[in-house]
Amino acid sequence: MTLEIKRVIIAALGGLFLLSLVFVQRMETARKAEEAGLRGPHIAVPSDSKACVDCHAEENPGIVSHWTGSTHAERGVGCYSCHAADREEADSYLHHGVQIATVVTPRDCANCHDAEADEFAQSHHAAAGNILASLDNFLAETVEGARMDFNPHSPTPGRAIQVVNGYASANSGCQQCHGAKVALDATDGGVVTVDDLQPDENGIPTNLDAVGRIARDENGRPLINSRTWPNTGIGRLNLDGSKGSCTACHSRHDFSPRRARQPENCGKCHLGPDHPQKEIYEESKHGIAFRDLKDDMNLDAENWVLGEDYSAAPTCATCHMSGNIRNGGRITHDPGERISWTNRPPVSLAMDTDINHEIVTETDPEARRALIHDSWNQKRDRMKDVCSNCHTDDYVNSFYKQYDNLVVLFNEKFAKPGLQIMAALVDNGLRTPTNFDEEIEWSWFYLWHHEGRRARHGASMMAPDYTHWHGMYEVAERFYMALIPQAREIAQHAAAGGRRSAANAVNAVIDGILSRPEHIWFEEGAEAQTEAIRQAMERRYGVPNR
């Protein structure tokens, strides 16, 4: 072989090597830029979703754009991965040649995220739809609205209003957080829900008559009842029998972990007069630190483990769900796993839960112990694991004493007595069984549902103003200035109406309560305490208290 031929071989191989080097460097530079967060990851649209992406990029570019920025897109999880459906599913339909369903449920997400779906299914979040038969729902469906459609009583200029939806407040209010019972329009004018479909363990309807009643458009697409959809309430009751909606926290279609980790995400529902957790958090040192140090929160970290990926501040997710270095980075999708009091009911309950994750209400100690599967103390220890990343054990334990004290104070001084008075009124026939038709029922509801929760939640998350001024102060005012006088007045009217024994019974309950040491100041005065406070002020400030 001549030197000239070898020269050609060297040139060809050298050139090929340099070309491959340029190509490899291009790939490597892109990969490193991706790792450093300087460039979005390369997205390859899965073949089964290519047609969806092509069309929806034109029709609904936002959907595709959000998905393009998601981890799903990065890992090749396309539209069809989540929207695929069996022909037997109640809401499935043939869409441009592929069988899909519009509503993606936790059952669909569980195809990949089964552990998360299991945890979520056991959580109180998943059961949030149970409110659909509660006192709150009575408010929305009866007091605020009506459990019926009714005719408008006068015209609305410019609009031809034919009917008033009595459920509108529940549909747009309660159910957007708690979750709707998703319904399909029926051919008979009614609706078809999970109750009618009776799905089996795979989510396939067993009641074929109900399936036959499903109304469909000219393309065979089932018509989802507009009162129940769109809905991303966290306890949504789905047609396949699953409960909940993962998109309640993991907003579609980017399913951003970064967003789920931020308090604003929870603040869609956990805010307002009855459970202002978001505002309480913002008032707390935790929220203040988060606002200031958000840039140090490493919110894009893959696992986001407290003590490892960040320590700047906690968010809702940090304390209630995310992993921390002390628990080995274990994440939970059941926020109740770390909550030791439930402050939802009028009287706070210790979060001892049974095998079905229901709160144990048994009072006999022996029987109670047998029922408890996961005690409030175990739950508290899990939360303490989180706290201890930034606080000493003494600090955490003392905080919990303060929190317990406030909850117990509320329970004993106002909640249990309030319940006692309300029960006495019913027991003696001085209050109707219907809620919210008498002033005292509104007073009681405000006391525990709004003000009482604010106080307890305020104490649970270190927000002094919510604990005191928005909380216990208003509880006390409602108790002494509304509940007691209104109960007395009801008794007085009863006595005047000839129902003396009923009135006496109610008054006896009220007197019993007000004669307790913690209430005695109200009717017998508290001059001694006032004088003690005056003297303390004088000692401290050198001037008499005015």
Which listed range, 14-22, 312-320, 464-472, 474-482, lies at the site for another protein (CB under 8 A)? 14-22
- Residue number, 16 or 532, with CB nearest to another protein: 16
Compute the C-alpha angle 521/524/530, nearest 5°.
Answer: 50
Element at 237 (helix H, strand E):
none
Which listed range, 102-110, 184-192, 298-306, 524-532, lies at the site for another protein (CB under 8 A)? 298-306
The answer to the question of residue 419 lying near another protein (CB under 8 A) is no
Q: Which distant-in-sequence residues (6+ apart) come within 8 Å of 344 by Cβ?
A: 453
- Residue number, 76 or 464, with CB nearest to another protein: 76
Beta bridge partners of 11: none
Per-residue binder mask for another protein (CB under 8 A), 322-341, x = binder: -------x------------
- Residue number, 1 or 163, with CB nearest to another protein: 1
- Other residues' Cβ atoms within 10 Å of the Cβ of residue 281: 26
Compute the C-alpha angle 82/87/91, nearest 5°.
Answer: 65
Which listed range, 19-27, 160-168, 397-405, 462-470, lies at the site for another protein (CB under 8 A)? 19-27
Rounded to whole angstroms, how far apart are CA atoms 420 and 447? 14
- Residue number, 262 or 298, with CB nearest to another protein: 298
Question: With CB under 8 A, what is the number of residues at the site for another protein?
Answer: 34
If we measure between CA atoms, which residue out of 119, 117, 96 comes closest to residue 108? 117
- Residue number, 44 or 408, with CB nearest to another protein: 44
If we measure between CA atoms, which residue out of 413, 429, 410 comes closest to residue 491? 429
- Residue number, 303 or 515, with CB nearest to another protein: 303
Q: Which two tokens stand for residue 119?
A: 């945890």
Among 303, 361, 434, 515, which residue sits at the site for another protein (rule: CB under 8 A)?
A: 303
- Residue number, 305 or 494, with CB nearest to another protein: 305
Element at 191 (helix H, strand E):
strand 191-192
Query: Cβ of residue 82: shortest distance to another protein, in angstroms?
Result: 20
- Residue number, 68 or 176, with CB nearest to another protein: 68
Query: Cβ of residue 1: shortest distance to another protein, in angstroms?
Result: 5
Which listed range, 13-21, 421-429, 468-476, 509-517, lies at the site for another protein (CB under 8 A)? 13-21
Which listed range, 296-304, 368-376, 384-392, 500-508, lies at the site for another protein (CB under 8 A)? 296-304
Which is it for strands 92-95 and 98-101: parallel, antiparallel or unpaired?
A: antiparallel
Beta bridge partners of 95: 98
- Residue number, 78 or 276, with CB nearest to another protein: 78
Please state the length of the chain: 546
In the region spanning residues 31 to 70, those forming contacts with another protein, defined by CB under 8 A, are 31-33, 35-36, 38
Which listed range, 101-109, 133-141, 295-303, 491-499, lies at the site for another protein (CB under 8 A)? 295-303
Per-residue binder mask for another protein (CB under 8 A), 248-287, x = binder: ----------------------------------------
Tell me the DSSP string of 167-185.
Answer: THHIIIIIHHHH--B--EE
Compute the C-alpha angle 459/462/466, nearest 5°.
Answer: 60
Per-residue binder mask for another protein (CB under 8 A), 154-183, x = binder: ------------------------------
Among 16, 115, 133, 496, which residue sits at the site for another protein (rule: CB under 8 A)?
A: 16
- Residue number, 31 or 493, with CB nearest to another protein: 31
If we measure between CA atoms, which residue out of 267, 384, 304, 338 comes closest to residue 124? 338
Rounded to whole angstroms, how far apart are CA atoms 248 and 253? 12
Assess contact for 261 and 312: CB atoms under 8 A.
no
Which is it for strands 149-150 and 349-350: parallel, antiparallel or unpaired?
A: unpaired
Query: Cβ of residue 42: shortest distance to another protein, in angstroms?
Result: 9
Q: Is the peptide bond before 253 cis (omega within 30 degrees of 0)?
A: yes
- Residue number, 34 or 362, with CB nearest to another protein: 34
Element at 98 (helix H, strand E):
strand 98-101
Query: Cβ of residue 313: shortest distance to another protein, in angstroms?
Result: 20
Distances (CA, A) of 247 to 79, 179, 266, 323: 15, 11, 12, 21
Rounded to whole angstroms, how far apart are CA atoms 419 and 397? 31
CA atoms within 13 A on the CB side of 15: 6
Which listed range, 272-280, 300-308, 408-416, 527-535, lies at the site for another protein (CB under 8 A)? 300-308
Which listed range, 166-174, 211-219, 257-265, 301-309, lies at the site for another protein (CB under 8 A)? 301-309
Name the DSSP letter for residue 145.
Answer: S
Compute the C-alpha angle 180/184/187, nearest 5°.
Answer: 145
The answer to the question of residue 302 lying near another protein (CB under 8 A) is yes
Which listed range, 27-35, 125-133, 493-501, 508-516, lies at the site for another protein (CB under 8 A)? 27-35
The answer to the question of residue 20 lying near another protein (CB under 8 A) is yes
Q: Which two tokens stand for residue 391?
A: 């606080």
The answer to the question of residue 71 lying near another protein (CB under 8 A) is no
The answer to the question of residue 135 lying near another protein (CB under 8 A) is no
The answer to the question of residue 112 lying near another protein (CB under 8 A) is no
The answer to the question of residue 4 lying near another protein (CB under 8 A) is yes
Q: Which two tokens stand for residue 542?
A: 């050198």
Query: Cβ of residue 62: shortest distance to another protein, in angstroms?
Result: 28
Beta bridge partners of 243: 237
Assess contact for 480 and 451: CB atoms under 8 A.
no
Chain centroid, CA 483 distance in Å: 30
Specify the amino acid at residue 268: K
Query: Cβ of residue 38: shortest distance to another protein, in angstroms?
Result: 6
Binding stretches for another protein (CB under 8 A): 1-4, 6-7, 9-11, 13-14, 16-18, 20-21, 23-25, 27-29, 31-33, 35-36, 38, 301-303, 305, 308, 329
